[in-house]
Amino acid sequence: MMKIGSLDAVEALKMAIQCEMEMKSYYEKCARLMHNDDAMTILNGLAEKEERHRVQLIRKYSHISGKKILYLNLGKKHKLGTLVPCGTDPNEAIRAAKKNENEIKNFYVTVSRRLYESDMRQMFRELALEEEQHIALLESSFVEPLTLDQEQSSDKNAIYQEMAAEENDSASTW
């Protein structure tokens, strides 16, 4: 976890927006690694949730700062340096997603404790709870040991092999 010294609301919002953008992109890439329709649906759903968080945070940023965010390209000081990028192994991508969600949740909890404005504290607490729900969804949907690198078609192949074996058995009895 990074050290957060004095952090004002605008800076916290910028960092949170960046986190949500990174996680949306992460889940989209992770979904493309999957061979299972259910896994892809879950990950794309999480990407949509991250996008909704981003929009919520941008609205709050505009309200507080009086500025509009047209794009966000922040320097390293605004990025949560502990987030892991999505690799190419589906199993590791899911494990890293859980770690990333936990890092963001911890960041939101820390921010909620350091901000003065009660509505901002409440918003970051709610975001932390939603990140906790993302972790629970990942934990319940992707149970260890993960076997996401196997094609779905292997089940179909097993069925075809079983049918072929039965046909061979029945043919030999003639």
Tens digits of per-residue pLDDT, 55-100?
999 999 999 888 877 666 666 666 777 888 998 989 899 999 999 9
Q: How far apart are CA 26 and CA 106, in angstroms?
A: 18
Q: What percent of the chain has pLDDT over 70?
A: 76
Model's pTM, two decimal places? Answer: 0.78
User: Is residue 114 within 8 Å of residue 51, measured between CB atoms?
Assistant: no
pLDDT of residue 107: 95
**Angle, to 10 degrees, between the axis of helix 37-65 and the axis of helix 118-141?**
170
Tens digits of per-residue pLDDT, 36-48?
899 999 999 999 9
Domains (ranges, CATH) in the chain? Answer: 9-149 (1.20.1260.10)
Return all residues near 11 (Cβ < 8 A) that are at least 6 apart.
78
